[in-house]
Each structure stands twice: as structure tokens, then as C-alpha cells.
Amino acid sequence: MELVIQPDAECAAWLVASLIAKALREKPHLVLGLATGRTMERVYGYLVQMHREEKLDFSLCRTFNLDEYIGLSPDHPGSYRYYMDHHLFNHINIDHRNTFLPDGTAPDLKAACRRYEETILEFGGIDLQLLGIGADGHIGFNEPLSALRSRTREKALTPSTIAVNSTLFRRPEEMPTRALTMGVGTILDASNIILLVTGSTKSDILAKAVEGPITAMVSASALQLHPHCQVVVDEHAAVKLQAQEYYRWVFDNEPDWAEFRAPCPSRKVLPHHRPK
């Protein structure tokens, strides 16, 4: 695991978008795992900007999202399909037939989960998985006590997750209480992982996830087992980390990070895509 501390949330998002763009340029047929949430809106805004200004090409890319609510149609404003179309897919040259999310409206949810796993394998597995982290340390919707070898499945959401996510619905009472999610094991199968964490409210759980013990109570702690996981955080999220000096030294001195050390153009993101 490598951890990088950036000056603010914009610079952290720009670095993550730059890492994704580099991977896509090196491998046009990239299989990309995607996440949702407010933290990711900045990343997708930068990727849209790179597509428009630098001709970043998504035409051969395939994407798989971490999760989807059970019972929401794809055109529901609270669904993750709607989110992805609104923030990314409708603004880049990706073939929508190559964008996959778990089917939360399937009549047989267990079969839909099996098909999702099989489709990922048909495309050769996920090359790069983008992640955020929940306040209790969940990745995807792998709530506390999720098995660290779990696969895509149905999952009941915790009251705290429902309380946080319901604020994103026009009618909070429409927030589903269950979802389909990639399992922790599915996530760990990705060749490379990037975890983006910003804001002081995530500082405690970030420290537990990356510097604490590996435990099913904090599903993100399983990322410590992954051989190619990069964690990008801002200063506010980093305040509880014990090894800050080392993390800064690595970013400032390791050759792999040299091309990313220039000051980020963090105020150039397109206003249309800036998070509210």
C-alpha cells in the first residue's frame, strides 16, 4: 500500500483522475471499476475535462460499478446508473453497452450477482478499481462484519449508511435499505486499486483502515492485503495518520510519483461538474 497526502480535496481528486487517465492511455481496453458519492464527483469532473481538452479516449474502455440499490429503476435520480450517466458516461465517448452496474431490479437477485461476477471475468477482470470509504470503513456496500472473501451479493444497509445516503434523495424516505454490492473479495481481485479519502470527518476511519488491524468490522482494512493499492488523501483526512512524514517523503522522492508532483490545476475543473 502507498499513501499520498495532497494539499486539498481538489488536488487529491486531480491526482486520482490523472492516475486513471495514465492507465487508460497505457491500456485503451482498460477495465475500470467505479464508485459513486460526492467524493467521486470531482474525479469525474476532471476526467470529463481531460476528455474534452486532451482527447482522453474512453471508446474501448469497460466499466463495472461497485454497487446499486435494490428496487430502483435505472432512470430513478437516486440510482447509481443515473449518477454515472449524469456525472461521467453522458459526457465522454464511452459505449454505454460497455458500462455495467449490478441489476437491482432483477427478479432473481442471486442470479444477477452471479452473472455480474461472470461478466467481470469475461472481460479479464478489473484492471483498476476506484474506491471511496464510508464513515464506518465500508467499501462498496460491504458494511461491518462483511466477509473479507465475499463476492457480489445482496446486502442490508446499516442505519448510519441509510441516514447519510438518504440526504442525496429528493425524497429521503425513498432511500432503499438494501443494495447489491461487489464483495470485499471481488474488490481485492482487481489488479490495481485507488482509494480516495477527503475531509476531516473521514480522518478517524482512514487511520483505522490503513494503519490499524485488518478486521471485518472495517472492510477497507482488507486493502492492506492488496499488493498494488494507492491511497490518496487530503490534509484534513490525514491528520490522524501516524506515519505522515514517511508518506510525504515517498511522494516527494520516489521516481514513480515524479510526473505527478507538479502543482495541480485544481481550480480549472469545469463548473458544470463541480460538486454542489
Catalytic residue among 51, 91, 138, 273: 138
Is the CB of residue 51 less than 8 Å from the CB of residue 91? yes
Catalytic residue among 10, 68, 117, 143: 143
Please return the burial class of 118, using the count of CB atoms within 10 Å of its CB with bins 0-12, 13-18 and 19+: exposed
- The x, y and z cell numbers of residue 93, run together, are 465517448
Is 234 assigned a catalytic role? Answer: no
Name the residue among 61, 130, 65 with its Cα closest to residue 92: 61
Catalytic residue among 8, 57, 136, 204: 136
Question: Phi/psi class of residue 108: alpha, beta or left (left: φ > 0; alpha: ψ in -120 to 50)?
Answer: beta
Catalytic residue among 10, 67, 103, 117: 67
Is 252 assigned a catalytic role? Answer: no
DSSP state of 155: E
Is 136 assigned a catalytic role? Answer: yes
Is 143 assigned a catalytic role? Answer: yes
Name the residue among 5, 22, 1, 2 with its Cα closest to residue 198: 5
Catalytic residue IDs: 67, 136, 138, 143
